[in-house]
Structure 1
Amino acid sequence: MSEAMHVDRPWAYVTSLLSGNAQPLPVASQSRTKLTAASRLRIKITVLERHGPLSAVVSWSDSTACCYWEQLWRRGRARKRGFCALTGTPIVAGDEVFRPRLIAPTPANIDAMILASVMEAMPLGELA
């Protein structure tokens, strides 16, 4: 089965896995979520807890890529340009942001960022 089948026809791929006719995707071919200003519209984010000014527990749900019920995010400085996952505001290198903690396996949303000022103003438990 071609790799295009995995992307274009996920249900056919799942049924072929169940029937024993396909091999699972290798980990290396799984891609990260590419976050753009427009893609944030499909993402649901809830700030569940704040652990002081340096970390927060976030619920992240992206209907096309991943779901993390209790993901630890840490405060730091943006290393590259991007977009705030909550507001779509452009982020430049050096901005104070929150990012998912790097663990193994690498989270699909590892490149996501939320501006620190936005995270601090977000009420706990409120869906964004």
Structure 2
Amino acid sequence: HLSGSTILYNSTWYHIAFVYNYGAQQQILYVNGVQDAVKSNAQSFQGQNASITIGSSTVSSTQIYFSGYIDNLLLTTQAKSSTDLLRDASLMAYYAFDSSNPSGDSGPNGIDGTATNTLSVTGKVNGAY
């Protein structure tokens, strides 16, 4: 069990990251790129044959569900550093090429671009949507 001290408010987006550092046997929780909690001597995640539950937890035999939106989930094979996570949390621009406006910035700053010499396709292309 790992709990941070940051208070989360309704109607506010947060960048939440959990890192398990296998070499250091540490669990680290980050909120908006800033370390919020650390647990040392933590056992490694044995996810090869186990399931991962996102958005719910069981506390004292009671199932508790996350009430909100999760935009994306990334699982990597290497522990990210605090610098990597801060970079992820402080996004400058995001261009979703599968949207109706691929040159429009879906990120926090509204830095729209201009698409030139592009070709739009529909459906799945080489394994990506």
TM exceeds 0.5? Answer: no
Report which structure shows greater RCO (CA 8 Å, sep ≥6). 1
Q: Which has the higher helix share?
A: 1
**Structure 2 length as normaliser, TM-score?**
0.24
TM-score by length of 1: 0.25
Instruction: Indicate the structure with greater strand content.
Output: 1
Q: In terms of Rg, which structure is larger? A: 2
